[in-house]
Amino acid sequence: MSPVAASQDPIEDHRTAAGAPATTFAADIGGTWVRMSTGGPGAPVERVPSPSRLRHPDRSTARLRADMVELLSDRVPAGARAALSFGAAIDHLTGTVYGSAPLWGAADTPYDLAADLRRSRPDVTWHLVNDVTAALLDFAAVHARPGTRRVAYLTVSSGIALRIADLERTRIPVDTWGLQGEVGHLPVPLTDPGAEVLAGLPCECGATDHLASLASGPGLVRAARRLGIPRAPQVADWLPGALDANDPGARRLLELGAAPVAHLLRTLWCLDPHLDLIGVGGGVAEGLAGHYAAEIRRRLATATSYADRGRDDAWLGDRLVFCGPGQVDPLRGVLRIGDWLPGVTP
C-alpha cells in the first residue's frame, strides 16, 4: 500500500511538469465549519458553514457527502495540490473516512472520500489526513527543538485522540487500517478511589467504559450527571468558574476526568522514553486551562512505582506543553503534510 499521494517535496515547493508552481489549497473540515485557504502559509482563510449532519439534521448521509465533495471541488484551483485536514478517524493510507458522527451521523460504513474527490476533480492532487495529525504537524513545527526525537499531540475535545511523529525519521507510523492513536476508544481504567461510580458510561462509538466515555467534553457531561451535579448539561460553561470558586463537586469532576488522561501520559512515557515532547490541546484542556494542566501535572508528579518515579516541574516543563485556544492550527499544519506523506506507513 502507498500513502494517499506521496511526494518527496514539501507541498509548497512542488512544481508541475510545465515548471509552474502548483497552487496550494488547504482545508480544515469539521462538523461546524470548513476553513479553506489558497496560496500556502499566511494566505487568507475563508470559513463557511460545514455541510454536516450537525447543521442539517434532515439531510441524508449520501446528500451530505455529495455536498462536501461539491464544496471542495468548487473551491479548489485548477491543477492544485490540495491538503485536507479532516475531523474524523481516517485511513491515512487510502483517504477512507471511518465514522464521523458530527459530519455524517452515525453511518458506520467507511466512505472513500478521496476516491470521490479524485473522480470529481482529477486534475487536483488530493492529500487527506486526520485533523489530529495536522495539529501535530503544526505543534511540532512550533515546539520541537533540535534533538527532539519523538513528539506527540493529544486532543481532549468532543473526542480524544493522540498522534505521535518520529522526527528523526520523518515518520508517522500507522497500523494496517491506516490508523494511529485513536486512544479515546480504549478501555478506561477507573482506579481512583470512588471512580467506580463512573462505571458503564457510554461512548460515542457505541461501547461503554472508554476513555472518551468520561474524559472528553461529552464524557464530562455524562460524568457530571452520574456524580449528581445539577448543572451537568452546561458543564463546559459551569466548570471553569466552579473550579475557580473551589467547588467540591467541580473539583471531583476534574480529578476523575483528568485521572485517565494522566494515566495515558504516564503509560506513553513508560513505553517510549524517547517521547521528548507532548502537546495537550482541544476544547476541554483549553477551556479548563490552568486547572486542567495543574491536575495533570499533580498526578504525574506522584510516584506510583519504581517504574514510574514521579516527574518534577523541571522534567515536565521540558516535555509537556498545554496549548491555549488557537495556538495549534490544523489548517496551518496540514500544509506540511507533503514532507510527511512518504513516512506515513504501516
Residues that bind Zn ion (CB under 5 A): 185, 203, 205, 207, 210
The 10 Å CB-count burial string (b at 16+, else e) for 51-84 is: bbbbeeeebeeeebbeebbebbeebbbeebbbbb
The helices-and-strands tally (H runs, E runs) of the chain is 12, 11
Shortest distance in whole angstroms from residue 31 CB to Zn ion: 17
- Using alpha carbons, select from 240, 230, 242, 236 the residue that is nearest to residue 216: 236
Query: Among residues 127 and 210, whose Cβ is nearest to Zn ion?
Result: 210
Shortest distance in whole angstroms from residue 219 CB to Zn ion: 10
Strands in 50-149 per DSSP E: 81-86, 96-97, 111-112, 125-130
Shortest distance in whole angstroms from residue 186 CB to Zn ion: 8
Helix (H) or strand (E) holding 154: strand 150-156
Query: Among residues 80 and 90, whose Cβ is nearest to Zn ion?
Result: 90
Query: Among residues 140 and 161, whose Cβ is nearest to Zn ion?
Result: 161
- Using alpha carbons, select from 130, 70, 72, 125 the residue that is nearest to residue 98: 130
Please name the amino acid found at residue 141. A
Shortest distance in whole angstroms from residue 184 CB to Zn ion: 6
According to DSSP, residue 183 is labeled G
- Using alpha carbons, select from 205, 221, 201 the residue that is nearest to residue 213: 201
Shortest distance in whole angstroms from residue 201 CB to Zn ion: 10
Residue 180 φ/ψ, nearest 5 degrees: -150, 135
Query: Among residues 62 and 207, whose Cβ is nearest to Zn ion?
Result: 207
- What is the spatial distance between Cα 141 and Cα 239, in angstroms, rounded to a whole number? 32
Shortest distance in whole angstroms from residue 101 CB to Zn ion: 11
Shortest distance in whole angstroms from residue 3 CB to Zn ion: 27
Residue 316 φ/ψ, nearest 5 degrees: -65, -35
Shortest distance in whole angstroms from residue 97 CB to Zn ion: 17
- What is the spatial distance between Cα 219 and Cα 213, in angstroms, rounded to a whole number? 5
Query: Among residues 183 and 258, whose Cβ is nearest to Zn ion?
Result: 183
Q: How far is CA 169 from CA 24, 52, 247, 342, in A?
A: 25, 37, 47, 11
Query: Among residues 3 and 219, whose Cβ is nearest to Zn ion?
Result: 219
